[in-house]
Amino acid sequence: VPELERAVQLDPHMNRAYFLLARAYQRLGRKEDAATALKKAQQGQE
């Protein structure tokens, strides 16, 4: 998770990293963080 958080800090347009971060948060039970990361991943695809 820390590596993915750093990746999106360095490049906020890295949709794949947001998607992977959302999955990681979900597995950790961090549902709100997962939802936020997933929204950011989807916004980049529009």
How far is the C-alpha of 46 from the C-alpha of 41, rounded, in Å?
9
Residue 46 has pLDDT above 80, yes or no: no
**Tokens read off for 45:** 């695809």
Q: Which pLDDT band, with edges at 50, 70 and 90, does 44 fall under? A: confident
Domains in the chain: boundaries? 2-45
Amino acid at the residue 4? L
Q: Which pTM was predicted?
A: 0.87
pLDDT reported for residue 45: 66
What distance in Å separates the CA atoms of residue 21 and residue 1, rounded to the nearest whole number? 7
> Tens digit of pLDDT for each residue in 6-41?
999 999 999 999 999 999 999 999 999 999 999 999
